[in-house]
Amino acid sequence: MNHREQSLNFSSWFRKNYMILIIMLLFFYLFFALLAPVLMKYKFFKTGKFIYKIYSNFCHQFAHRSWFLFGEQQFYPAYTDAGSGLRSLHDVFGIFPENIQKSREIIGNESAGYKVAICQRDVAIYGAMLNVALIFQISSKKIKKPPFWLWFIFAIIPIGIDGVWQLISPMNIAIINISSHESTPLVRSITGILFGFFTGWYLYPAIEETFEDETAGIIKRVKY
């Protein structure tokens, strides 16, 4: 088999199986992010910390914006309201959220639990993208791509407003004069799900359309 035939065979195989590869990639990305706190819980500290280190290249991992497993709370917010019954990041770890490097370095402990290796919003984004990928695969890739404006309104605007507002509010930019904003786990999850769902819905059919166009082009060239 020559190089050209090998390339054609690989292209044909990839065309049939690319969604399986995407599903596996998303599944294992989430799996290992959730595995890290499990390993810490059961005292596989070296392996757990290795996973956190790898994932630190893909996520900010701020403790005050992450889920915690096996602890007294599912999350430790930057600030708490009186009577909320929640303990803040500073209450539990002695770290203020403004010290973002220290917040990032927090993994957790036996009483507080251990954080998931990616933040709350990323869990929602990749979880939603995985679910849409499964639906698209089960539908035999028959789901059509939504209009660009629909993707932009539901995927970009909500996460953009919440994320950018949260990002720039601590900067105290006088010319903008906006109120301080620290998002909540619920809002991060909702905006993440919207982004992941509509991005998956837009992206996967777009990839399929590209393959269909390439196949049609090849058939046309062979015909003529």
Q: pLDDT digit string (tens) for 35-79? A: 999 999 999 999 999 999 999 999 999 999 999 999 999 999 998
In the prediction, which pLDDT does 175 show? Answer: 45
* 175 or 9, higher pLDDT: 9
In the prediction, which pLDDT does 174 show? Answer: 44
Are 105 and 119 in contact by the 8 Å Cβ rule? The answer is: no
Q: If we measure between CA atoms, which residue out of 216, 64, 66, 206 comes closest to residue 132?
A: 206
Distance of CA 194 to the CA centre of its chain: 11
Using pLDDT thresholds of 50, 70 and 90, give the confidence band for residue 211: confident
3-state DSSP call for residue 212? helix
**Percent of the chain clearing pLDDT 70 (strictly above):** 85
Residue 80 has pLDDT above 50, yes or no: yes
Are 155 and 202 in contact by the 8 Å Cβ rule? The answer is: yes
Q: If we measure between CA atoms, which residue out of 18, 9, 13 comes closest to residue 141?
A: 18
Residue 68 phi, psi (nearest 5): -120, 140
Q: What angle do CA 182, 187, 193 make, to 5 degrees?
A: 135
* 117 or 97, higher pLDDT: 117
